[in-house]
Structure formats: C-alpha cells, structure tokens
Amino acid sequence: MRGALPGVDLLEPSALLALARRDDAESRIVKRRGGRWDTEHGPFGGEITLRRASTLLVSGVNLHLKAADALLRRFDFVPQARLDDLMVSYATPGGGVGPHVDSYDVFLLQGPGRRRWRVWFEGRILNYVLHPGDMLYLPPGLKHDGVALDACFTYSIGFRTPRGAELGAAFLDWLHERGLPDDRYRDPGLLPARNGARVPAGLIAHSKKTLDRIRWSRRDVEKFVGEYLTAPKPHVVFKPGKGQRPLARSKVVLDPRTQLLYSGSRFFINGDSLLLSGRKANSLKRLADQRSGPGTALAALAPLISEWHRAGYLHLEKP
C-alpha cells in the first residue's frame, strides 16, 4: 500500500535505545554476519552500539509511548481483542532478522528510511522496496525477509492468533483455578500384583470417572476468553495513580497497558471480569470502544473509575 500512512516518525534511535535498557520492555538485537544471524536479548546495560547490518527490535512500544499507542489504535477496524502490539525496529544498512515465517497477521509500516522486502508466495519471490509511509500486509504463514537499504525504522502492527494447544492449556489452567474435581485415588484391599508394569484397571476407571465430571458452558468459555485476552503480559507493570481530579471535571483515558473488552453485559479488564447492566454498561462500552471519554458520562461508575485510577488502569486528565 503506497503512501498508506505518510509522515509517521515515532521516535529517535536514542529513544528506542533507551527503551531497550528497561526491564519492562521486550527487546533484542539481531546482527547479521554473512549468512548467519546472531540474536541478543535485552534489557541491555551500558552503551549499545549498532554496527552495520544490525537491527534493534523493541516490542510493545505502544505501552510506553502515546504516539505509538495512537498509531496502534488506528488499526482498530480489526476488533481490539485481536490487536496485540506495535513493535519498532531500527536497522542500520544491511540489517534484518533473516528469512522467517510469522504465525499471525502483521502490517509492516515503513518509517524513515527504506527497506527491501522479499516475500515467498506460491512458488515465486516477490520484491518490494518500501519508502516512508508505505505499508506491506502479510497474512500468517508467508515466508518473508526485510533488509534495510538505509538506516531505517519499521513499525510492525501485530495481531493475536492464539493457537489451539495454547488456548486449550490456558483454559484447563483456568478451570483448575475454579475447582476441577480433586478426588484422590484409593485402592483398599489391593492384592499383590502378579504383573507389576500393568496399569491397574481401577486407576483407569477412577481417572475416567473424574475426567467425565469436567463440565463447562458457553458462559464459562466467554468469561475465560475475555480474561485470557486482557491479561497483561508478565513484564507489564501498572503505576498507581496519585491524587485524583474530580471526575465531573476530567477526561477519563485508559492507560496504554490496559485492555478493556466486553461481551454482552460482561466486561473484562486486565485479566479480571465484572457484570454491568443498563446505563452503566452502555457508558463503559463507550469507554472501551473509544478508550477515552468525558467524566460526566461516567458519573454512575464513579467508585469503579476511582478504583481503576488507583490501580493505574486509567488516568484522569484535563478535558
């Protein structure tokens, strides 16, 4: 998409290097040496030197920079539940991470500088040179390789696509926390075993009986999915709000780290959920969709807004 978003210039290399030194940001440096790519993971201490054919990548820049969060939110024509993060990469000439395949959709927006992309598609190799403001969309599973022609920035807007195994494991953990059957197997009257390696039929029968008792409903799945999708990543830290402006004279703004979603009358925020109805639900839905709103429209939710402000989930700003 030529000229998709012209003029986007989020931060200087020095600011990205500063983020790479922080322990609440995910970062890595990839250096190309001939046909080999070496990767170091942050946080990085001291001075960071990027020589030729090097790339610095920082994930979740939207969590630390308002302009990056605003750019990510321009893609909310895709449901917010699918939006993941905005990764920023800065590469010196010849820099890249090597040919690879992603398991998720991604938009690659070119910032300052130029990058050449090769995309393997249906037995062909397609070549694109992206200039500032150009954007390349890649669906999951396409092999691709980007190499910097100049010192350049690339902004990657990624989307969540939980895999079946990942989703299943997380759901079982969620069920376990809410009380999976926990009957202990016992075998009174056990006789000496003639074949020590044979699995006792009684143990298999007990296990089947226990597992057959695991039940869940659509409501359980809805609650799990919302809490799962809004749960903060392990390195995310919220800063508690200090002081508090009167809600009626404030603009309520969700923190970039906050994920607020809803399904019907159930709301999900940062791994927790709650039920609301009527005017309260409608007000909170507007806040979730727009990520900010006038405090006067949220007066019925004043205790909740105050609680979330203290937790750092949102901010009260001047209108």
**Angle between the N-to-C axes of helices 218-230 and 164-177, in degrees from 0 to 180, rounded to the nearest 10:** 110
* Mean pLDDT across the chain: 92
Q: Which DSSP category does 247 fall into?
A: G
CA 64 to chain centre: 14
Assess whether the previous peptide bond of 200 is cis (omega < 30° from 0): no
At 33-64, the pLDDT tens digits run 888 999 999 999 888 889 999 999 999 999 99
At 196-223, the pLDDT tens digits run 888 888 889 888 888 887 888 899 999 9
| β partners of residue 261 | 268
Q: What is the pTM of this model?
A: 0.86
Degrees (nearest 5) of the Cα angle 311, 78, 101?
100
Degrees (nearest 5) of the Cα angle 19, 22, 25?
70
List alpha helices for the chain, DSSP H: 13-20, 66-73, 164-177, 201-212, 218-230, 278-290, 302-311
Which residue's structure tokens are 């990764």?
Answer: 87
Q: Which of 124-138, 184-198, 275-289, 297-311 has the lowest mean pLDDT?
A: 184-198
Mean pLDDT of 224-242: 92
Complete domains list, the chain, with CATH: 13-159 (2.60.120.650), 230-317 (3.40.366.30)
Mean pLDDT of 309-319: 95
